[in-house]
Chains A and B, each alone.
Chain A
Amino acid sequence: NAGVTQTPKFQVLKTGQSMTLQCAQDMNHNSMYWYRQDPGMGLRLIYYSASEGTTDKGEVPNGYNVSRLNKREFSLRLESAAPSQTSVYFCASSGGGRGTDTQYFGPGTRLTVL
């Protein structure tokens, strides 16, 4: 099992460019999450999907959109990147959808916006 995979691993964008971060899990999990990690801030939830076909905003959703393409895949889109979106982005999944289950994380995407 690959677990949670993310692409790309690294990306550099110019202000105003758009991109999509891809995430896939092969554990048949119901819930998927997108976080960003910034120094001194811990992990902040951007969006999550409790089950296929549903998405909800987290703590810091502004400037992002998500798509739960199917049970396996959950993508994060930056429509017009800003330097404040420079961060490390992690995708995670869990089985139960009620937050009680362990979350499994991908290796992260390191994004720099110039």
Chain B
Amino acid sequence: GNSVTQMEGPVTLSEEAFLTINCTYTATGYPSLFWYVQYPGEGLQLLLKATKADDKGSNKGFEATYRKETTSFHLEKGSVQVSDSAVYFCAKTSYDKVIFGPGTSLSVIP
């Protein structure tokens, strides 16, 4: 099928820990890939994106690399902060739509 899979969590980390959230997608054509973030009580907002193989998207210390050979787009951050607590969604384009993963809830504790 046409889908995006990501670890659902919840993930709980201590401040300054290393973060990885795995994301894989079904390879239909050459999609653009995204990570969106949703803070409590808000809508989603774009965190980063990559539009072709081997591109690296980055923003606010978060990074993800478009890996065509493994159909993956894992999100990483070297040192998380309490303010990073949110739900993270991996997504891919599909023709004129976007397919979202189920979201990964992250809690960062001081």
Contact = CB atoms under 8 A, between A and B. Distances in A.
Interface of A: 4, 31, 33, 40-43, 45, 48, 50, 58, 90, 92, 97-100, 102-108
Interface residues on B, range: 20 to 34
Nearest to B92: A99
14 contacts: A33-B97, A40-B8, A42-B89, A42-B103, A43-B100, A50-B96, A58-B97, A90-B43, A97-B96, A98-B95, A104-B45, A105-B45, A107-B42, A108-B43
A43 B97 contact: no
Interface of B: 8, 32, 34, 36, 41-46, 49, 51, 89, 93-98, 100-103
Contact of A102 (B42, B46, B102): B46
Contacts of A104: 45-46
Contacts of B45: 104-105
Interface-central residue, A4, A42, A107, by most chain B CB under 10 Å: A42
B92 to A, nearest CB: 9
